[in-house]
Chains A and B, each alone.
Chain A
């Protein structure tokens, strides 16, 4: 019996072909998008906002405040993009998973290999994003920058895996509207990426604090600003890791139910 690791690695050549036919489109967007965000929101909008560290969770400028927020938020969006339509395609439109299922691969192996591809995509886009931000002097230290990059990948996984589980069992793509309207957009706007959540009413602030994106934004911000506070940082990290583990269990369960009938 081959190990789970070996069974996942056998799919490397497949995912390499997927990357070869899609990388050009993703490279352009992963380089241009951060530049547009940083210029529009960080530089231009930020020009109207006083750089008061007391109001901006310790950030010297608005640009430095939103940089880690943008980094984490774009990772969430990449992750949701990779775990909605592409997963639906594998189970419903192209049925590539059904072809794979006729081989020694098990549903858990399909999830693991697909997950490996998503981690790779998140690592690439977040690295480009983090690099594009570098000339704008938003990092307290190189180590902080690398840490924020890793947090961005983790946030993507923590949000992407439950979405994968949802997509693997969803009857059709119309249910994705729910994910985008209730999950992605509110988190993007209200999870502390663009303004300190202390500006929200106490109830909304409490809700915002519970979102996975807030956990990632706050952790990434501590790292880029050099304001790391061990207690809250550990809570954020554990929260995100638990989401990854639970998300993986759900993803395997839902895909198994979809394929093994």
Chain B
């Protein structure tokens, strides 16, 4: 039992703050991450996700509030906490002059893992991230997706209890993203607790059991993806495109056909329980959008609702 009284709380933050000089990146957030869950921080660039992650990784001192990681205070027990964490930073910090294998090997040694054991784990992890054939290649010669997979393999070398992934798939092509998601899903199945930041809502929906939406250093919503969609959006969304025009001109004419509408530069969004019906009514009014689409609500819609902005800028 740890000092907070909950020994399956992997992360516990109360009124957590981080400032850099006069700039407040995190303005007091409450977060609990339980053992075995996949937890997400969702938000646009500059929302405070990475600052939060660095504090949870026990490399960035807390500016205010209370933070316990694995039940320990990072200010006192940084080294012990980091020994049990796996960290996949936003920016790869691989040694590009070393081979793929050596990157894993030297990293495992930092945790004090015996040499023979590190070698065997490194081989297994290269299999796991499908890089075994590139073991002797220099990191410089790898593609972006391969480097990312290697960084994830490296973060697993100490069999972490808690894996922190800061925007794991940013900048990757769709194929590489799906491969990574598959590997992360397998880790979750093995019981590894995941904390993920992302500004991709599809990534968060795929991977996270529970997530918080952050905006300007604060948490603006919290729950499971489906819960958030249920609470903050309708079941379906009808999208109307009127070609190259000012879409706000049409807003008043369709406003009463949906529970809520959003005007984007290139389309109108009609939030409704029945999207097809909403589109039929639009046509009845003599309006002729150049394209229509009915889809289910996503976290993007939740974010739009909560912040008035799209997630990826």
Contact = CB atoms under 8 A, between A and B. Distances in A.
A104 B110 contact: yes
Nearest to A6: B112
Contact of B80 (A95, A101, A104, A105): A104
Contact of B82 (A95, A96, A98, A104): A104
A245 interface: no
Interface stretch (A10-18, A23-31, A37-45, A200-208): A10-18
Contact of A103 (B91, B97, B105, B107): B107
A105 B97 CA distance: 21
B38 interface: no
A260 B55 CA distance: 10
Given A101-B59, A102-B87, A102-B89, A13 B106 contact: yes
B60 interface: yes
Interface residues of B, number: 31
- Find the residue from B80, B89, B110, B112 having the highest chain A CB count within 10 A: B110
Contacts of A177: none
A10 B118 CA distance: 12
Contacts of A10: 109-112
Given A14-B106, A96-B93, A96-B95, A102 B112 contact: no
Contacts of B111: 10, 103-104
A114 interface: no
Nearest to B155: A102
Contacts of B102: 17
Contacts of B78: 106
A11 B106 CA distance: 7
Contacts of A99: 89, 93-95, 107, 154
13 contacts: A1-B79, A7-B79, A10-B112, A13-B105, A17-B102, A21-B97, A94-B97, A99-B93, A102-B59, A103-B82, A103-B111, A104-B79, A104-B82
Closest 7 pairs between A and B when the two form their complex, measured CB to CB: A99-B93, A103-B110, A102-B87, A14-B106, A104-B79, A104-B83, A95-B93
